[in-house]
Amino acid sequence: MISTNDVKPGMTLDLDDGLFRIVEYQHVKPGKGKAFVRMKLKNVQTGAVVERTFRADEPVQQAVIDRRPHQFLYRDDDGFHFMDGETFAQMSLSEDEVGDAAWYLKAGEAAQLAMYEGKAIGIDLPASVELGIVATEPGVKGDRSSAGTKPATTETGLVVQVPLFVEEGDRIKVETQTGSYMTRVS
Section 95-118 average pLDDT: 84
pLDDT tens digit sequence for 38-55: 999 988 877 788 999 988
pLDDT tens digit sequence for 75-97: 888 888 999 888 888 888 888 77
Tell me: pLDDT of 5 over 60: yes
Tell me: pLDDT of 139 over 80: no
pLDDT for position 14: 87
User: Could you tell me which residue, 169 or 100, shows the higher pLDDT?
Assistant: 169
Tell me: pLDDT of 141 over 70: no
User: What residue ranges define each of the domains in the chain, with the CATH number in brackets?
Assistant: 2-60 (2.30.30.30), 66-124 (2.40.50.140), 128-185 (2.40.50.140)
The reported pTM is 0.68
Section 24-34 average pLDDT: 87
How many whole angstroms separate alpha carbon 113 and alpha carbon 81?
12
Section 101-119 average pLDDT: 85
| Residue 134 φ/ψ, nearest 5 degrees | -105, -20
Rounded to whole angstroms, the maximal C-alpha distance in the chain is: 65
Q: Which of 97, 87, 129, 91 is nearest to 110 (CA)?
A: 129
Query: How does 158-170 read in b/e, with b if 16+ C-beta sit within 10 Å?
Result: bebebebebeeeb
pLDDT band at 143 (very low <50, low <70, confident <90, very high): very low
What share of the chain has pLDDT > 90, as a percent? Answer: 11
Section 14-28 average pLDDT: 87
